[in-house]
Amino acid sequence: MGLLWNKIKASPSKWMVFADQGLVSGVNFLMTLLLARFLGLENFGLFALGWMLVLFFSSVQMAFIISPLYTLFPKHKNKKQYLASVHTIQLIYSSISGIFAFGVVKVAMFLQPDWMVPGISFSLPLVVMFFGWQDFYRRLNIALELPKQTLKSDLISYGLQPLLLLGLVYLNQLSIHRMFVGLMFLFVGAIIWGIKKHELNFNYRTLTTILFENWQFSKYLVGTSLLQWVSGNFFILAAGSILSPVAIGVIRIAQNVVGILNVLFAALENIVPLKGAQLLSQSGVNTAIHYFKMILIYGGGVTAAILATIALGREYIIEWFYGIQYLEYSNIFLGFTFIYVLVFVNTILGFVIRTFEMNRIFLISYITTSVFSVFAAKPIINQFGVYGVVLGIVGTQIINITVYIISLNSNSIALWK
């Protein structure tokens, strides 16, 4: 215990990053559990379907705003001006994403009447807008090495979510729409707390310059994020359309069980790219590659140990957290433990590609997996049902890893020499 405390005191900011991500991932786990129990599997599937739209716009934001921030900010000559401009760009992006989300919801409910949920054509787009805005402040504070600010913000936007849900249940007012409205207010609360702590820049010339810098860095990443979303979620969307929203609920619950690893993955996302860019700039290629090798080895060991525990105890986990009615889906949970092994490898290789600014590789990879998803989803799901989703996701992960390794090796960058 004393040794752990000494390590925390030696590097408080790093441990605070882990604590914050533990809060976010822990709340996400708990909320998925509670929503699955109180909404029921079909309504939970519809809620999860709506949340996929939130994650879509978040993935574009990650590509166009956050990834450039993490990589370009440490190298930028005028850091203050860059951050103020990126802050302004984020506000514009959040507004545009809310408008687009409104159109998407309207079209989706017209094409799929079974997905119709009263009220969410307004509440869901607002969640899209404010979730992205609040998440930007999380990432910005991490880039500025202010994890304490991030933790305070997340105590508002995430820490209060279980109380919100339980309050709606207690008042017998829980619905998909009301849940989205409640989440929107929590995100707005965190935004109000965070916006006053960061400057804005409305100078047109500066904004266009920074916008161009971000675009030059992220032009392949943006296209890739769109393709990645298609390749990663097309099987899930197809299952919801071909089977029912229940299939989406089952997949989301399985993802939630292995979601404990999101603490590790998200913490790595916040630490490794920044550190890799710094090492490449200060110490050169070999030092950066050695750093990524160490992350792959040690992070892989932790990942494998956690996933093995989940795989062996999956039936006890399902029964204890979700109830015996979900035991028939235990093989889905087993499949996702294997998927997350592949996800970890993909994540580390992705850090390497971004650090060496070889983002075109992402585009090539996800073009391949998107084509695979679009053409393979329907026949695989028709043949194997909900298990076809697992097979499809495994296929996309293996294709990604193969393309990454071949491309990196062709550029004399290999993590396993």
- pLDDT tens, 53-68? 999 999 899 988 888 8
Q: Which band of pLDDT confidence, cut at 50, 70 and 90, is reported for residue 162? A: very high
116-140: average pLDDT: 91
Q: How far apart are CA 118 and CA 123, in angstroms?
A: 10
Query: With contact defined as beta carbons under 8 Å apart, do 150 and 20 qualify?
Result: yes
The residue written with tokens 């969307």 in the block is 237
This prediction has a pTM of: 0.76
Q: Is residue 3 part of a domain?
A: no
The residue written with tokens 């203050």 in the block is 80
**61-94 residue pLDDT tens:** 998 888 888 888 777 777 788 888 888 889 999 9
In terms of residue numbers, what domain contains 261? Answer: 8-410
Q: Is residue 369 part of a domain?
A: yes
Query: With contact defined as beta carbons under 8 Å apart, do 25 and 282 qualify?
Result: no
| The pLDDT of residue 11 | 52
Highest mean pLDDT among 31-40, 107-116, 181-190: 181-190
Q: Is residue 175 part of a domain?
A: yes
Top pLDDT among 199 and 338 is at 338
Give the closest residue to 105 by CA, choosing from 92, 117, 87.
Answer: 117
Give the closest residue to 218 by CA, choosing from 346, 61, 343, 411.
Answer: 61
Q: Is residue 354 part of a domain?
A: yes
If one counts the domains in the chain, the total is: 1
Count of C-beta atoms within a 10 Å radius of residue 212 = 10
22-36: average pLDDT: 85
**186-211 residue pLDDT tens:** 999 999 877 777 777 777 787 888 88
Give the closest residue to 311 by CA, choosing from 346, 285, 340.
Answer: 340
Q: Is residue 415 part of a domain?
A: no
Top pLDDT among 213 and 220 is at 213
Q: CA distances (Å), 151 to each of 10, 15, 168, 260, in order?
A: 19, 11, 25, 18
The residue written with tokens 């989300």 in the block is 101
Query: With contact defined as beta carbons under 8 Å apart, do 169 and 109 qualify?
Result: no
Q: Which band of pLDDT confidence, cut at 50, 70 and 90, is reported for residue 272? A: confident
Instruction: Mention every residue, 6+ apart, whose C-beta is less than 8 A from residue 403.
Output: 361, 364, 365, 368
Q: Is residue 119 part of a domain?
A: yes
The torsion angles phi and psi of 244, rounded to 5 degrees, stand at -175, 170
Q: Is residue 416 part of a domain?
A: no
Q: pLDDT over 90 for what percent of the chain? A: 25
Instruction: Mention every residue, 6+ apart, whose C-beta is less than 8 A from residue 193.
Output: 152, 153, 156
Q: Is residue 417 part of a domain?
A: no
**375-417 residue pLDDT tens:** 998 899 988 888 888 999 999 999 999 999 888 877 667 655 5
pLDDT over 90 at 139, yes or no: no
